[in-house]
Amino acid sequence: MTNRQVADILNRIADILQIKEENPFKIRAYRNAAQSIYYLDEDLRSLYKKDKIGDVPGVGRAVKGKIEELLEKGSMEYYENLLKEVPQGVLEMLSVPGIGHKMVKLIYEKTGIDNIDDLLKAAEEHRLREIPGIGEKTEENIKKGIEMLKKNRGKVNLGIALPLAEKFRDFLLEDERILAASVVGSLRRGKPLVNDIDILVAAEDYLAVHEKAEQFTEIKKINRKDKENVSGKLIFDIDFELIIVLPDDYYHSLVWTTGSKPHRAVLFSEIGRSSFRGAVSEKEIYEKLNMQFIPPELRENRGEIEKARLNELPVLVELGDIKGDLHVHSDWSDGAHEIMEMVRKAKEKGYSYMAVTDHSKSLPISGGLDEERLLAQGRVIDDLNLKIEDFKILKGIEVDILKDGSLDFSDEVLENLDIVVASVHSNFKMDKEKQTKRILNAIKSGKVNIIGHLTGRLLNRRSGYELDIDGILKTAARYNVALEINSHPERLDIDEETAFKAKEYGVKIAINSDAHNKEDLDLIRYGVINARRGWITPDDVINTWPYDKLVKFLKKE
Protein backbone atom coordinates (compact mmCIF):
# COMPACT_ATOMS: atom_id res chain seq x y z
CA MET A 1 0.00 0.00 0.00
CA THR A 2 1.70 3.15 -1.21
CA ASN A 3 1.16 6.70 0.06
CA ARG A 4 -0.71 7.45 -3.13
CA GLN A 5 -3.10 4.58 -2.66
CA VAL A 6 -3.81 5.60 0.92
CA ALA A 7 -4.43 9.16 -0.24
CA ASP A 8 -6.80 7.88 -2.93
CA ILE A 9 -8.85 5.95 -0.39
CA LEU A 10 -9.07 8.95 1.95
CA ASN A 11 -10.26 11.05 -0.98
CA ARG A 12 -12.88 8.48 -1.87
CA ILE A 13 -14.09 8.47 1.73
CA ALA A 14 -14.43 12.24 1.43
CA ASP A 15 -16.39 11.78 -1.81
CA ILE A 16 -18.82 9.38 -0.16
CA LEU A 17 -19.26 11.63 2.87
CA GLN A 18 -19.93 14.51 0.51
CA ILE A 19 -22.59 12.54 -1.36
CA LYS A 20 -24.09 11.65 2.00
CA GLU A 21 -24.03 15.38 2.81
CA GLU A 22 -22.14 14.97 6.03
CA ASN A 23 -20.39 17.71 7.95
CA PRO A 24 -18.36 19.71 5.40
CA PHE A 25 -15.52 20.19 7.84
CA LYS A 26 -15.20 16.51 8.41
CA ILE A 27 -15.02 16.07 4.66
CA ARG A 28 -12.31 18.67 4.41
CA ALA A 29 -10.41 16.96 7.19
CA TYR A 30 -10.24 13.78 5.07
CA ARG A 31 -9.19 15.75 2.01
CA ASN A 32 -6.49 17.61 3.95
CA ALA A 33 -5.13 14.33 5.30
CA ALA A 34 -5.19 12.84 1.78
CA GLN A 35 -3.34 15.79 0.33
CA SER A 36 -0.62 15.88 2.92
CA ILE A 37 -0.06 12.13 2.59
CA TYR A 38 0.07 12.46 -1.18
CA TYR A 39 2.89 14.98 -0.90
CA LEU A 40 4.69 13.27 1.94
CA ASP A 41 8.42 12.72 1.48
CA GLU A 42 8.58 9.62 3.59
CA ASP A 43 6.84 6.30 3.03
CA LEU A 44 3.89 5.76 5.38
CA ARG A 45 5.03 2.22 6.07
CA SER A 46 8.29 3.41 7.53
CA LEU A 47 6.49 6.09 9.55
CA TYR A 48 4.22 3.35 10.82
CA LYS A 49 7.16 1.33 12.08
CA LYS A 50 8.32 4.35 14.06
CA ASP A 51 4.75 5.06 15.23
CA LYS A 52 4.94 8.52 13.66
CA ILE A 53 1.84 8.54 11.49
CA GLY A 54 0.19 10.96 13.89
CA ASP A 55 2.92 13.48 13.10
CA VAL A 56 1.68 13.95 9.55
CA PRO A 57 -0.12 17.29 9.40
CA GLY A 58 -3.87 16.85 9.06
CA VAL A 59 -3.78 13.33 10.47
CA GLY A 60 -5.35 13.16 13.91
CA ARG A 61 -6.33 10.28 16.13
CA ALA A 62 -9.23 8.99 14.04
CA VAL A 63 -7.55 9.01 10.64
CA LYS A 64 -4.33 7.67 12.13
CA GLY A 65 -6.18 4.60 13.38
CA LYS A 66 -7.79 4.07 10.00
CA ILE A 67 -4.50 4.33 8.13
CA GLU A 68 -2.87 1.87 10.49
CA GLU A 69 -5.70 -0.57 9.91
CA LEU A 70 -5.18 -0.14 6.17
CA LEU A 71 -1.45 -0.81 6.44
CA GLU A 72 -1.91 -3.83 8.72
CA LYS A 73 -4.82 -5.54 7.03
CA GLY A 74 -4.86 -4.05 3.54
CA SER A 75 -8.43 -2.95 4.10
CA MET A 76 -10.43 -0.56 6.26
CA GLU A 77 -13.78 -1.47 7.76
CA TYR A 78 -15.08 2.10 7.79
CA TYR A 79 -14.39 2.50 4.07
CA GLU A 80 -15.82 -0.91 3.17
CA ASN A 81 -19.04 -0.02 4.97
CA LEU A 82 -19.29 3.35 3.23
CA LEU A 83 -18.89 1.63 -0.12
CA LYS A 84 -21.98 -0.44 0.67
CA GLU A 85 -23.97 2.79 0.87
CA VAL A 86 -22.50 4.45 -2.21
CA PRO A 87 -21.26 2.05 -4.88
CA GLN A 88 -17.95 2.49 -6.69
CA GLY A 89 -19.71 3.27 -9.99
CA VAL A 90 -21.50 6.22 -8.41
CA LEU A 91 -18.15 7.58 -7.27
CA GLU A 92 -16.84 7.23 -10.81
CA MET A 93 -19.72 9.40 -12.01
CA LEU A 94 -17.97 12.23 -10.15
CA SER A 95 -15.23 12.23 -12.76
CA VAL A 96 -17.69 13.56 -15.36
CA PRO A 97 -16.94 17.26 -15.78
CA GLY A 98 -19.76 19.53 -14.70
CA ILE A 99 -21.37 17.19 -12.25
CA GLY A 100 -20.48 17.18 -8.60
CA HIS A 101 -21.58 15.44 -5.46
CA LYS A 102 -25.01 17.00 -5.27
CA MET A 103 -25.98 16.06 -8.78
CA VAL A 104 -24.55 12.57 -8.49
CA LYS A 105 -26.65 12.06 -5.38
CA LEU A 106 -29.72 13.48 -7.08
CA ILE A 107 -29.35 11.25 -10.14
CA TYR A 108 -28.55 8.16 -8.10
CA GLU A 109 -31.48 8.63 -5.77
CA LYS A 110 -34.05 9.53 -8.41
CA THR A 111 -33.11 6.98 -11.05
CA GLY A 112 -30.90 4.38 -9.45
CA ILE A 113 -28.25 4.97 -12.12
CA ASP A 114 -25.00 3.80 -10.57
CA ASN A 115 -22.41 3.79 -13.34
CA ILE A 116 -21.12 5.99 -16.14
CA ASP A 117 -22.34 3.81 -19.01
CA ASP A 118 -25.94 3.91 -17.81
CA LEU A 119 -25.60 7.62 -17.19
CA LEU A 120 -24.58 8.20 -20.80
CA LYS A 121 -27.48 6.09 -22.03
CA ALA A 122 -29.93 8.06 -19.91
CA ALA A 123 -28.51 11.32 -21.25
CA GLU A 124 -28.78 10.11 -24.84
CA GLU A 125 -32.37 9.06 -24.27
CA HIS A 126 -33.19 12.44 -22.68
CA ARG A 127 -34.22 10.83 -19.44
CA LEU A 128 -32.03 13.05 -17.26
CA ARG A 129 -33.89 16.25 -18.12
CA GLU A 130 -36.97 14.74 -16.48
CA ILE A 131 -35.27 15.01 -13.10
CA PRO A 132 -36.28 18.25 -11.34
CA GLY A 133 -33.26 20.54 -11.27
CA ILE A 134 -31.69 19.13 -14.44
CA GLY A 135 -32.43 20.76 -17.76
CA GLU A 136 -31.46 20.31 -21.39
CA LYS A 137 -28.12 22.04 -21.10
CA THR A 138 -26.95 20.07 -18.11
CA GLU A 139 -27.97 16.88 -19.83
CA GLU A 140 -26.03 17.86 -22.94
CA ASN A 141 -22.97 18.77 -20.84
CA ILE A 142 -23.09 15.41 -19.11
CA LYS A 143 -23.24 13.66 -22.46
CA LYS A 144 -20.30 15.61 -23.84
CA GLY A 145 -18.32 15.11 -20.65
CA ILE A 146 -18.76 11.35 -20.73
CA GLU A 147 -17.86 11.16 -24.41
CA MET A 148 -14.61 12.97 -23.67
CA LEU A 149 -13.86 10.61 -20.80
CA LYS A 150 -14.56 7.59 -22.99
CA LYS A 151 -12.22 8.78 -25.69
CA ASN A 152 -9.37 8.48 -23.23
CA ARG A 153 -10.70 5.63 -21.14
CA GLY A 154 -7.98 3.42 -19.84
CA LYS A 155 -5.34 5.94 -20.75
CA VAL A 156 -3.00 7.14 -18.09
CA ASN A 157 -0.75 10.19 -18.01
CA LEU A 158 3.04 10.27 -18.04
CA GLY A 159 3.24 11.44 -14.46
CA ILE A 160 1.72 8.17 -13.25
CA ALA A 161 2.91 5.74 -15.91
CA LEU A 162 6.56 6.73 -16.22
CA PRO A 163 7.62 6.54 -12.54
CA LEU A 164 5.77 3.25 -12.17
CA ALA A 165 7.38 1.82 -15.31
CA GLU A 166 10.82 2.91 -14.19
CA LYS A 167 10.31 1.40 -10.78
CA PHE A 168 9.35 -1.88 -12.43
CA ARG A 169 12.35 -1.73 -14.76
CA ASP A 170 14.78 -1.02 -11.92
CA PHE A 171 13.27 -3.82 -9.89
CA LEU A 172 13.84 -6.26 -12.75
CA LEU A 173 17.43 -5.10 -13.15
CA GLU A 174 18.18 -6.04 -9.54
CA ASP A 175 18.27 -9.64 -10.73
CA GLU A 176 21.67 -10.35 -12.22
CA ARG A 177 20.20 -12.87 -14.65
CA ILE A 178 18.36 -9.98 -16.29
CA LEU A 179 20.97 -8.37 -18.49
CA ALA A 180 19.10 -5.34 -19.76
CA ALA A 181 15.68 -3.74 -19.48
CA SER A 182 14.13 -0.60 -20.90
CA VAL A 183 10.77 1.09 -20.90
CA VAL A 184 9.59 1.04 -24.51
CA GLY A 185 6.51 1.87 -26.58
CA SER A 186 4.68 5.17 -26.55
CA LEU A 187 5.81 5.72 -22.97
CA ARG A 188 9.45 5.85 -24.06
CA ARG A 189 8.46 8.20 -26.86
CA GLY A 190 6.99 10.40 -24.14
CA LYS A 191 3.38 10.61 -25.28
CA PRO A 192 1.31 12.54 -22.73
CA LEU A 193 -1.29 9.75 -22.45
CA VAL A 194 -0.46 6.07 -22.83
CA ASN A 195 -2.53 2.90 -22.95
CA ASP A 196 -0.11 0.65 -21.12
CA ILE A 197 3.40 0.09 -19.82
CA ASP A 198 5.73 -1.93 -22.05
CA ILE A 199 9.15 -3.03 -20.88
CA LEU A 200 11.70 -4.84 -23.02
CA VAL A 201 13.81 -7.33 -21.07
CA ALA A 202 16.92 -9.24 -22.14
CA ALA A 203 17.75 -12.55 -20.48
CA GLU A 204 19.21 -15.90 -21.47
CA ASP A 205 16.66 -17.64 -19.26
CA TYR A 206 13.10 -16.39 -19.57
CA LEU A 207 12.14 -18.20 -16.37
CA ALA A 208 14.37 -15.78 -14.48
CA VAL A 209 12.21 -12.94 -15.78
CA HIS A 210 9.04 -14.72 -14.66
CA GLU A 211 10.45 -15.34 -11.23
CA LYS A 212 11.59 -11.79 -10.65
CA ALA A 213 8.52 -10.14 -12.16
CA GLU A 214 6.18 -12.12 -9.93
CA GLN A 215 7.78 -10.53 -6.89
CA PHE A 216 7.01 -6.97 -7.99
CA THR A 217 4.59 -5.74 -5.34
CA GLU A 218 2.77 -3.33 -7.65
CA ILE A 219 1.39 -6.15 -9.80
CA LYS A 220 -2.31 -6.81 -9.30
CA LYS A 221 -2.76 -9.65 -11.73
CA ILE A 222 -0.79 -11.70 -14.28
CA ASN A 223 -2.76 -12.77 -17.35
CA ARG A 224 -0.13 -14.36 -19.51
CA LYS A 225 3.29 -15.82 -18.88
CA ASP A 226 5.36 -17.60 -21.50
CA LYS A 227 8.71 -17.63 -23.21
CA GLU A 228 8.33 -14.22 -24.83
CA ASN A 229 5.98 -12.37 -22.57
CA VAL A 230 4.63 -11.59 -19.14
CA SER A 231 1.54 -9.42 -19.11
CA GLY A 232 -1.23 -8.34 -16.78
CA LYS A 233 -2.34 -5.45 -14.64
CA LEU A 234 -0.46 -3.15 -12.29
CA ILE A 235 -1.89 -0.91 -9.58
CA PHE A 236 -4.33 1.75 -10.80
CA ASP A 237 -5.47 -0.90 -13.32
CA ILE A 238 -2.66 -0.10 -15.72
CA ASP A 239 -1.94 -2.85 -18.26
CA PHE A 240 1.66 -3.94 -18.53
CA GLU A 241 3.66 -6.17 -20.82
CA LEU A 242 7.19 -7.47 -20.43
CA ILE A 243 8.67 -8.43 -23.79
CA ILE A 244 11.39 -11.01 -23.25
CA VAL A 245 14.23 -11.40 -25.76
CA LEU A 246 17.66 -13.02 -25.91
CA PRO A 247 20.55 -10.61 -25.29
CA ASP A 248 21.61 -10.64 -28.96
CA ASP A 249 18.15 -9.49 -29.99
CA TYR A 250 17.92 -6.69 -27.44
CA TYR A 251 18.92 -3.60 -29.46
CA HIS A 252 17.02 -4.23 -32.65
CA SER A 253 14.01 -5.11 -30.50
CA LEU A 254 14.52 -1.87 -28.60
CA VAL A 255 14.27 0.11 -31.83
CA TRP A 256 11.30 -1.99 -32.93
CA THR A 257 9.28 -1.77 -29.73
CA THR A 258 10.01 1.94 -29.19
CA GLY A 259 9.22 3.31 -32.61
CA SER A 260 5.69 4.15 -33.59
CA LYS A 261 4.41 1.74 -36.22
CA PRO A 262 4.93 4.17 -39.12
CA HIS A 263 8.46 4.97 -37.93
CA ARG A 264 9.63 1.41 -37.66
CA ALA A 265 7.88 0.44 -40.90
CA VAL A 266 9.96 2.96 -42.83
CA LEU A 267 13.11 2.08 -40.93
CA PHE A 268 13.01 -1.62 -41.65
CA SER A 269 11.33 -1.49 -45.05
CA GLU A 270 14.38 -2.75 -46.90
CA ILE A 271 16.50 -4.49 -44.32
CA GLY A 272 14.72 -6.76 -41.85
CA ARG A 273 15.47 -6.10 -38.23
CA SER A 274 16.78 -9.60 -37.63
CA SER A 275 19.87 -8.74 -39.65
CA PHE A 276 20.82 -6.42 -36.78
CA ARG A 277 21.17 -9.28 -34.32
CA GLY A 278 24.18 -8.74 -32.09
CA ALA A 279 24.13 -4.94 -32.29
CA VAL A 280 25.45 -3.31 -29.12
CA SER A 281 23.48 -0.06 -29.24
CA GLU A 282 20.58 1.63 -31.00
CA LYS A 283 23.05 4.09 -32.46
CA GLU A 284 24.80 1.27 -34.27
CA ILE A 285 21.54 0.26 -35.92
CA TYR A 286 20.69 3.77 -37.06
CA GLU A 287 24.24 4.15 -38.37
CA LYS A 288 23.97 0.98 -40.39
CA LEU A 289 20.76 2.38 -41.82
CA ASN A 290 22.79 5.44 -42.86
CA MET A 291 21.25 7.89 -40.49
CA GLN A 292 21.81 9.76 -37.24
CA PHE A 293 20.59 8.31 -33.99
CA ILE A 294 16.97 9.43 -33.63
CA PRO A 295 15.87 10.29 -30.06
CA PRO A 296 12.86 8.22 -28.96
CA GLU A 297 10.60 11.29 -28.67
CA LEU A 298 10.95 11.95 -32.40
CA ARG A 299 10.18 8.45 -33.62
CA GLU A 300 6.75 9.21 -35.04
CA ASN A 301 7.55 9.39 -38.76
CA ARG A 302 6.99 13.11 -38.86
CA GLY A 303 10.00 13.92 -40.97
CA GLU A 304 12.65 12.74 -38.53
CA ILE A 305 13.87 9.94 -40.78
CA GLU A 306 14.53 12.27 -43.71
CA LYS A 307 16.35 14.70 -41.45
CA ALA A 308 18.39 11.91 -39.88
CA ARG A 309 19.50 10.76 -43.34
CA LEU A 310 20.68 14.30 -44.07
CA ASN A 311 22.36 14.55 -40.67
CA GLU A 312 20.11 17.52 -39.88
CA LEU A 313 18.25 16.45 -36.76
CA PRO A 314 17.99 19.22 -34.16
CA VAL A 315 19.87 18.80 -30.90
CA LEU A 316 16.93 18.55 -28.51
CA VAL A 317 16.66 20.25 -25.15
CA GLU A 318 17.57 18.04 -22.18
CA LEU A 319 16.66 18.11 -18.52
CA GLY A 320 20.24 19.10 -17.72
CA ASP A 321 19.92 22.24 -19.88
CA ILE A 322 17.31 23.77 -17.58
CA LYS A 323 18.86 26.54 -15.48
CA GLY A 324 15.81 27.70 -13.57
CA ASP A 325 12.07 27.58 -13.12
CA LEU A 326 9.94 30.56 -14.08
CA HIS A 327 6.56 29.60 -12.66
CA VAL A 328 6.57 28.64 -9.00
CA HIS A 329 4.05 29.19 -6.19
CA SER A 330 4.79 29.67 -2.51
CA ASP A 331 2.74 29.73 0.67
CA TRP A 332 2.00 33.38 -0.05
CA SER A 333 -0.81 32.06 -2.23
CA ASP A 334 -1.82 28.43 -2.71
CA GLY A 335 1.62 26.86 -2.56
CA ALA A 336 2.50 24.56 0.32
CA HIS A 337 6.03 25.74 1.08
CA GLU A 338 7.89 28.90 1.98
CA ILE A 339 9.88 30.71 -0.68
CA MET A 340 13.14 29.65 0.94
CA GLU A 341 12.16 25.98 0.90
CA MET A 342 11.39 26.21 -2.80
CA VAL A 343 14.73 27.93 -3.34
CA ARG A 344 16.57 25.21 -1.47
CA LYS A 345 15.01 22.54 -3.64
CA ALA A 346 15.71 24.58 -6.79
CA LYS A 347 19.37 24.86 -5.76
CA GLU A 348 19.49 21.13 -5.14
CA LYS A 349 18.34 20.68 -8.70
CA GLY A 350 21.31 22.68 -9.85
CA TYR A 351 19.31 25.74 -10.89
CA SER A 352 20.78 29.21 -10.80
CA TYR A 353 17.49 31.11 -10.69
CA MET A 354 13.80 30.75 -9.86
CA ALA A 355 10.84 33.07 -10.28
CA VAL A 356 8.25 33.31 -7.51
CA THR A 357 4.95 33.72 -9.34
CA ASP A 358 2.05 33.50 -6.91
CA HIS A 359 -1.55 34.06 -7.94
CA SER A 360 -3.09 37.50 -8.21
CA LYS A 361 -6.09 38.82 -6.30
CA SER A 362 -8.84 37.73 -8.70
CA LEU A 363 -8.29 34.16 -7.64
CA PRO A 364 -9.33 34.39 -4.00
CA ILE A 365 -9.52 30.65 -3.42
CA SER A 366 -5.80 30.50 -4.06
CA GLY A 367 -5.12 33.31 -1.61
CA GLY A 368 -4.18 35.51 -4.55
CA LEU A 369 -2.00 38.50 -3.68
CA ASP A 370 -3.23 42.08 -3.72
CA GLU A 371 -0.91 45.02 -4.39
CA GLU A 372 0.05 45.37 -0.77
CA ARG A 373 0.99 41.75 -0.20
CA LEU A 374 2.81 41.63 -3.51
CA LEU A 375 4.99 44.52 -2.35
CA ALA A 376 5.59 42.83 0.97
CA GLN A 377 6.59 39.65 -0.80
CA GLY A 378 8.96 41.67 -2.96
CA ARG A 379 10.72 42.97 0.14
CA VAL A 380 11.08 39.45 1.49
CA ILE A 381 12.59 38.34 -1.80
CA ASP A 382 15.01 41.28 -1.78
CA ASP A 383 16.20 40.18 1.65
CA LEU A 384 16.58 36.57 0.59
CA ASN A 385 18.55 37.58 -2.49
CA LEU A 386 21.04 39.33 -0.22
CA LYS A 387 21.51 36.22 1.85
CA ILE A 388 21.79 33.48 -0.75
CA GLU A 389 24.78 32.94 -2.97
CA ASP A 390 25.04 31.91 -6.60
CA PHE A 391 21.30 32.09 -7.05
CA LYS A 392 18.75 34.68 -8.07
CA ILE A 393 15.11 34.82 -7.04
CA LEU A 394 13.04 36.75 -9.54
CA LYS A 395 10.09 38.76 -8.29
CA GLY A 396 7.11 37.71 -10.33
CA ILE A 397 3.41 37.09 -10.47
CA GLU A 398 1.05 34.72 -12.21
CA VAL A 399 -1.36 37.48 -13.05
CA ASP A 400 -4.91 36.60 -14.04
CA ILE A 401 -6.06 37.47 -17.50
CA LEU A 402 -9.54 38.83 -16.77
CA LYS A 403 -12.61 38.28 -18.86
CA ASP A 404 -11.98 41.25 -21.12
CA GLY A 405 -8.29 40.52 -21.57
CA SER A 406 -7.11 43.14 -19.11
CA LEU A 407 -4.70 42.10 -16.39
CA ASP A 408 -5.41 41.81 -12.69
CA PHE A 409 -2.80 44.47 -11.83
CA SER A 410 -2.07 47.92 -13.16
CA ASP A 411 0.82 48.50 -15.55
CA GLU A 412 2.68 50.30 -12.81
CA VAL A 413 2.56 47.33 -10.46
CA LEU A 414 3.60 44.91 -13.19
CA GLU A 415 6.48 47.11 -14.31
CA ASN A 416 8.06 46.80 -10.90
CA LEU A 417 8.35 43.04 -11.20
CA ASP A 418 11.15 41.03 -12.78
CA ILE A 419 8.82 38.67 -14.58
CA VAL A 420 5.12 38.46 -15.42
CA VAL A 421 3.38 35.18 -16.24
CA ALA A 422 -0.19 35.77 -17.39
CA SER A 423 -2.79 32.99 -17.31
CA VAL A 424 -6.50 32.38 -17.74
CA HIS A 425 -8.25 30.87 -14.72
CA SER A 426 -11.89 31.75 -15.36
CA ASN A 427 -14.51 31.96 -18.11
CA PHE A 428 -13.35 28.85 -19.93
CA LYS A 429 -16.46 28.66 -22.01
CA MET A 430 -16.05 31.79 -24.12
CA ASP A 431 -16.13 31.20 -27.87
CA LYS A 432 -12.97 30.91 -29.92
CA GLU A 433 -12.99 34.47 -31.20
CA LYS A 434 -13.51 36.11 -27.81
CA GLN A 435 -11.08 33.82 -26.03
CA THR A 436 -8.41 34.53 -28.65
CA LYS A 437 -8.97 38.26 -28.43
CA ARG A 438 -8.75 38.06 -24.67
CA ILE A 439 -5.32 36.44 -24.78
CA LEU A 440 -4.12 38.72 -27.59
CA ASN A 441 -5.02 41.65 -25.38
CA ALA A 442 -2.80 40.31 -22.65
CA ILE A 443 0.07 39.77 -25.06
CA LYS A 444 -0.29 43.25 -26.51
CA SER A 445 -0.23 44.86 -23.07
CA GLY A 446 3.53 44.85 -23.34
CA LYS A 447 3.73 43.93 -19.66
CA VAL A 448 3.65 40.16 -20.06
CA ASN A 449 6.67 37.89 -20.47
CA ILE A 450 5.08 34.45 -20.56
CA ILE A 451 1.57 33.15 -21.22
CA GLY A 452 0.93 30.32 -18.76
CA HIS A 453 -0.90 27.08 -19.74
CA LEU A 454 -2.28 28.61 -22.93
CA THR A 455 -5.28 26.39 -23.66
CA GLY A 456 -6.28 25.41 -20.13
CA ARG A 457 -6.58 21.76 -21.06
CA LEU A 458 -6.54 19.08 -18.39
CA LEU A 459 -5.71 15.72 -19.93
CA ASN A 460 -8.45 13.16 -19.39
CA ARG A 461 -10.59 15.79 -17.71
CA ARG A 462 -11.16 18.90 -19.71
CA SER A 463 -10.36 19.85 -23.28
CA GLY A 464 -8.75 23.24 -23.68
CA TYR A 465 -10.69 26.19 -25.01
CA GLU A 466 -10.42 26.78 -28.72
CA LEU A 467 -8.00 29.42 -29.88
CA ASP A 468 -6.64 30.86 -33.09
CA ILE A 469 -3.17 29.48 -32.44
CA ASP A 470 -1.55 31.04 -35.50
CA GLY A 471 -2.84 34.48 -34.59
CA ILE A 472 -1.53 34.11 -31.06
CA LEU A 473 1.89 32.89 -32.20
CA LYS A 474 2.26 35.71 -34.68
CA THR A 475 1.46 38.31 -32.04
CA ALA A 476 3.56 36.64 -29.34
CA ALA A 477 6.57 36.77 -31.66
CA ARG A 478 6.04 40.46 -32.28
CA TYR A 479 5.70 41.36 -28.59
CA ASN A 480 8.51 39.11 -27.34
CA VAL A 481 6.17 37.00 -25.26
CA ALA A 482 7.17 33.41 -24.61
CA LEU A 483 4.70 30.56 -24.34
CA GLU A 484 4.86 28.22 -21.40
CA ILE A 485 5.10 24.49 -21.61
CA ASN A 486 3.41 23.77 -18.33
CA SER A 487 5.09 20.60 -17.10
CA HIS A 488 2.28 19.31 -14.96
CA PRO A 489 1.50 15.88 -16.44
CA GLU A 490 -2.20 16.74 -16.52
CA ARG A 491 -1.54 19.87 -18.52
CA LEU A 492 1.49 19.63 -20.82
CA ASP A 493 0.12 22.83 -22.24
CA ILE A 494 1.15 24.03 -24.86
CA ASP A 495 1.17 20.67 -26.58
CA GLU A 496 3.87 19.34 -28.89
CA GLU A 497 2.22 20.52 -32.11
CA THR A 498 1.92 24.08 -30.85
CA ALA A 499 5.50 23.98 -29.59
CA PHE A 500 6.67 22.89 -33.01
CA LYS A 501 4.73 25.70 -34.62
CA ALA A 502 5.96 28.24 -32.07
CA LYS A 503 9.48 27.54 -33.18
CA GLU A 504 8.54 28.24 -36.80
CA TYR A 505 7.10 31.60 -35.76
CA GLY A 506 10.18 32.39 -33.71
CA VAL A 507 8.25 32.32 -30.42
CA LYS A 508 10.34 31.35 -27.42
CA ILE A 509 9.32 28.68 -24.93
CA ALA A 510 9.53 28.56 -21.12
CA ILE A 511 9.42 25.08 -19.64
CA ASN A 512 7.89 25.61 -16.20
CA SER A 513 6.84 23.34 -13.37
CA ASP A 514 3.96 25.48 -12.00
CA ALA A 515 5.05 23.92 -8.70
CA HIS A 516 2.73 24.30 -5.74
CA ASN A 517 5.12 22.48 -3.41
CA LYS A 518 8.81 21.69 -3.52
CA GLU A 519 8.38 18.16 -4.87
CA ASP A 520 6.52 19.55 -7.86
CA LEU A 521 9.70 21.21 -9.08
CA ASP A 522 10.62 17.75 -10.34
CA LEU A 523 7.65 17.76 -12.72
CA ILE A 524 9.81 19.82 -15.08
CA ARG A 525 10.97 16.51 -16.47
CA TYR A 526 7.63 15.98 -18.23
CA GLY A 527 7.73 19.42 -19.75
CA VAL A 528 11.15 18.68 -21.19
CA ILE A 529 9.87 15.44 -22.69
CA ASN A 530 6.93 17.32 -24.20
CA ALA A 531 9.28 19.97 -25.62
CA ARG A 532 11.46 17.29 -27.17
CA ARG A 533 8.40 15.85 -28.89
CA GLY A 534 7.94 19.32 -30.36
CA TRP A 535 11.52 19.32 -31.72
CA ILE A 536 12.53 22.09 -29.31
CA THR A 537 16.22 22.91 -28.84
CA PRO A 538 17.91 24.56 -25.82
CA ASP A 539 18.16 27.87 -27.64
CA ASP A 540 14.36 27.95 -28.03
CA VAL A 541 13.87 27.71 -24.27
CA ILE A 542 14.45 30.87 -22.26
CA ASN A 543 15.05 29.06 -18.98
CA THR A 544 18.04 27.22 -20.39
CA TRP A 545 19.66 30.60 -20.87
CA PRO A 546 22.14 32.13 -18.45
CA TYR A 547 20.63 34.67 -16.05
CA ASP A 548 21.90 37.77 -17.83
CA LYS A 549 20.56 36.73 -21.19
CA LEU A 550 17.23 35.81 -19.62
CA VAL A 551 16.95 39.20 -17.94
CA LYS A 552 17.49 40.96 -21.26
CA PHE A 553 14.64 38.98 -22.74
CA LEU A 554 12.40 39.77 -19.79
CA LYS A 555 13.15 43.47 -20.14
CA LYS A 556 12.27 43.14 -23.82
CA GLU A 557 15.61 44.64 -24.77
Nearest partner of 184 among 315, 307, 282, judged by Cα? 282
For residues 390 and 431, which CB has a smaller minimum distance to DNA in the complex? 431
| AA identity, residue 69 | E
Write the binding mask 350 to 389 for DNA: x where contact by CB under 7 A, - elsewhere. Answer: -------------xxx-x----------------------
DSSP at 53: G
For residues 25 and 227, which CB has a smaller minimum distance to DNA in the complex? 25
The single residue among 121, 403, 432, 552 that binds DNA, judged by CB under 7 A, is: 403
Residues 82-101 that bind DNA (CB under 7 A): 97-101
The single residue among 3, 30, 187, 467 that binds DNA, judged by CB under 7 A, is: 30
**Nearest distance from residue 115's CB to DNA, in Å?**
17
Alpha carbons within 13 A on the beta-carbon side of 332: 30
Site for DNA contains 132 (CB under 7 A): yes
Rounded to an integer, what distance in angstroms lies between the CA atom of residue 473 and that of residue 509? 11
Which DSSP helix (H) or strand (E) runs through 395?
A: strand 392-400
Rounded to an integer, what distance in angstroms lies between the CA atom of residue 493 and that of residue 520? 16
The single residue among 6, 16, 33, 550 that binds DNA, judged by CB under 7 A, is: 33
Nearest partner of 16 among 70, 81, 93, 91, judged by Cα? 91
Site for DNA contains 32 (CB under 7 A): yes
Q: What are the C-alpha distances in Å from 499 to residues 7, 243, 354, 481, 503?
A: 34, 33, 22, 14, 6
The single residue among 51, 109, 117, 136 that binds DNA, judged by CB under 7 A, is: 136
For residues 100 and 446, which CB has a smaller minimum distance to DNA in the complex? 100
Rounded to an integer, what distance in angstroms lies between the CA atom of residue 319 and that of residue 522? 10
**Nearest distance from residue 100's CB to DNA, in Å?**
3
For residues 102 and 151, which CB has a smaller minimum distance to DNA in the complex? 102
The single residue among 138, 195, 406, 463 that binds DNA, judged by CB under 7 A, is: 138
**Nearest distance from residue 460's CB to DNA, in Å?**
12
For residues 41 and 390, which CB has a smaller minimum distance to DNA in the complex? 41
* CB distance 447 to 407 below 8 Å: yes
Site for DNA contains 103 (CB under 7 A): yes
Rounded to an integer, what distance in angstroms lies between the CA atom of residue 92 and that of residue 104? 10
Site for DNA contains 135 (CB under 7 A): yes
Angle between helices 3-19 and 61-73 (to 10 degrees): 120
Write the binding mask 50 to 79 for DNA: x where contact by CB under 7 A, - elsewhere. Answer: -------xxxxxxxx---------------
The single residue among 2, 4, 5, 28 that binds DNA, judged by CB under 7 A, is: 28
Rounded to an integer, what distance in angstroms lies between the CA atom of residue 188 and that of residue 255? 11
423, β-bridge pairs: 400
Q: What are the C-alpha distances in Å from 222 to residues 19, 98, 173, 180, 358?
A: 35, 37, 19, 22, 46
Rounded to an integer, what distance in angstroms lies between the CA atom of residue 281 and that of residue 267? 16
The single residue among 139, 321, 325, 520 that binds DNA, judged by CB under 7 A, is: 139
For residues 100 and 320, which CB has a smaller minimum distance to DNA in the complex? 100
The single residue among 148, 160, 375, 458 that binds DNA, judged by CB under 7 A, is: 458
The single residue among 110, 167, 302, 462 that binds DNA, judged by CB under 7 A, is: 462
Scanning 349-357, 369-377, 422-430, 506-514 for contacts with DNA by CB under 7 A, the matching segment is 422-430
Q: How many residues bind DNA (CB under 7 A)?
A: 47
> Phi, psi (5° rounding) for residue 138?
-60, -45
Cβ within 8 Å of residue 105, ≥6 positions away = 19, 20, 21
Rounded to an integer, what distance in angstroms lies between the CA atom of residue 70 and that of residue 55? 17
Scanning 45-53, 225-233, 369-377, 421-429 for contacts with DNA by CB under 7 A, the matching segment is 421-429
For residues 125 and 174, which CB has a smaller minimum distance to DNA in the complex? 125
Scanning 19-27, 81-89, 241-249, 537-545 for contacts with DNA by CB under 7 A, the matching segment is 19-27
Which DSSP helix (H) or strand (E) runs through 353?
A: strand 353-359
Scanning 24-32, 38-46, 255-263, 303-311 for contacts with DNA by CB under 7 A, the matching segment is 24-32
Site for DNA contains 124 (CB under 7 A): no
For residues 33 and 317, which CB has a smaller minimum distance to DNA in the complex? 33
233, β-bridge pairs: 221, 239
What are the residues binding DNA (CB under 7 A)? 23, 25-26, 28-30, 32-33, 57-64, 97-104, 129, 132-139, 141, 363-365, 367, 403, 425-430, 458, 462
